[in-house]
């Protein structure tokens, strides 16, 4: 495309078809209403040439057909289009298609696809899983359905039934019969608190008695737990170590994590009963601390590394027996 100046007047020539399938061409300046309508395509282009010759800045016209952009030209190429169409005697309905097929218009420059750069994974220490018990960290079969069911059960147990609507027995209002049973022309009604009246009670609305807990069998829960632990071990993301801090210190815990080259990971899950470790990790957004008896399947799936003590490994091995 020819290099354009910073100041440029934009014009548009758009093909229009009415209900009788008659083709015409609208000519307009950018951000303005249609200034003229021409039956012939050449007349619209000539109008652009006429306006451009009087303009003090560069001009350019955009062609549209079927609601789509077909290309643009400056005044020099517009003159070439006029001569080409007159010599070829192109019909109005095929004029814009003709100049597009003959490459008489400039198309928008093709955007170069950026070269895909492979993201370099953050380097961190890989921990050997050879000494971990295979019953817990070495399952050959991964129970994906059990993992899915366990996550749904965990989420359901955290959900509270705090939403409620009032029934007809709970809304305020008179209990008096609004009108006589018969001879009024109205349907029978016993109370204004009925759901059919404005301000009446809600039928079958939510109540606080609803229970969102989902049952999962112990065996399925165990299969899900061991499957996720096996996936972590397969990725060499299980560190058997116990952090002991003398005092509550976020900086102290961060130093200990840095020694194992895991401080910069997005999600670190530490299994510990030590309250000092728990309180020290409160201000670290990428560190979570839990007890071995409270391991969450979803948190294990999200973890980049799992840190637990040898005693916790023996506890998990006892569950598998």
What b/e sequence results for 161-171 when a residue is b if at least 16 CB atoms lie within 10 Å of its CB, and e otherwise?
A: eeeeeebbeeb
Would you say residue 119 has pLDDT above 50?
Answer: no
**Residues 206-232: what's their mean pLDDT?**
95
What SS3 class is residue 69?
strand
pLDDT at residue 3, as a whole number: 43
Would you say residue 179 has pLDDT above 60?
Answer: yes
pLDDT at residue 124, as a whole number: 57
pLDDT at residue 223, as a whole number: 96
CA atoms within 13 A on the CB side of 68: 7
pLDDT at residue 207, as a whole number: 93
Would you say residue 314 has pLDDT above 90?
Answer: yes
Give CA–CA dist 297/229, Å, rounded.
Answer: 9
Confidence of residue 47 (pLDDT cuts 50, 70, 90): confident
pLDDT at residue 8, as a whole number: 81
Would you say residue 295 has pLDDT above 50?
Answer: yes
For residue 13, the cross-strand partners are 27, 63
Would you say residue 108 has pLDDT above 80?
Answer: no
More confident residue, 36 or 254: 254
**Residues 20-33: what's their mean pLDDT?**
82
Nearest CA among 215, 290, 289, 205 for reference residue 250: 289
Tokens representing 83 are 């001569």
More confident residue, 51 or 206: 206
pLDDT at residue 114, as a whole number: 46
**Residues 204-230: what's their mean pLDDT?**
95
- Rg of the chain (C-alpha set): 38
Nearest CA among 172, 173, 177 for reference residue 187: 177
**Residues 28-45: what's their mean pLDDT?**
82
Give CA–CA dist 277/146, Å, rounded.
Answer: 31
Give CA–CA dist 192/80, Å, rounded.
Answer: 81
């Amino acid at each position: 495309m020819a290099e354009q100046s910073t100041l440029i007047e934009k014009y548009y020539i758009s093909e229009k078809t009415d209900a009788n399938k008659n083709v015409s061409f609208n000519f307009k300046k950018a951000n303005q209403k249609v200034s003229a309508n021409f039956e012939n395509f050449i007349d619209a282009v000539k109008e652009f040439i006429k306006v451009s010759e009087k303009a003090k800045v560069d001009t350019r016209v955009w062609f549209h057909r079927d609601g789509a952009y077909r290309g643009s030209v400056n005044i020099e190429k517009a003159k070439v289009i006029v001569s080409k169409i007159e010599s070829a005697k192109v019909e109005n309905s095929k004029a814009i298609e003709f100049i597009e097929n003959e490459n008489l218009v400039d198309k928008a420059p093709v955007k170069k696809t950026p070269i895909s750069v492979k993201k370099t994974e953050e380097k961190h220490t890989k921990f050997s899983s050879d000494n971990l018990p295979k019953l817990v960290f070495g399952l050959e079969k991964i129970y994906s359905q059990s993992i899915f069911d366990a996550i749904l059960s965990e989420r359901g147990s955290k959900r509270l039934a705090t939403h409620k609507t009032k029934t007809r027995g709970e809304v305020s209002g008179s209990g008096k019969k609004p009108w006589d049973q018969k001879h009024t022309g109205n349907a029978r009604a016993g109370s204004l608190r009925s759901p059919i009246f404005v301000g009446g009670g809600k039928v079958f609305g939510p109540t606080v008695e609803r229970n969102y807990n989902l049952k999962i069998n112990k065996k399925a829960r165990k299969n899900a737990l061991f499957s996720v632990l096996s996936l972590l071990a397969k990725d060499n993301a299980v560190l058997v170590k116990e952090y002991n801090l003398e005092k509550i210190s976020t900086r102290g815990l961060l130093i200990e994590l840095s020694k194992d080259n895991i401080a910069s990971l997005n999600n670190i899950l530490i299994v510990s009963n030590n309250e000092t470790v728990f309180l020290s990790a409160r201000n670290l957004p990428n560190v979570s601390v839990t007890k071995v008896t409270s391991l969450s399947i979803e948190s294990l799936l999200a973890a980049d590394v799992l840190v637990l003590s040898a005693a916790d490994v023996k506890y998990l091995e006892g569950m598998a027996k």
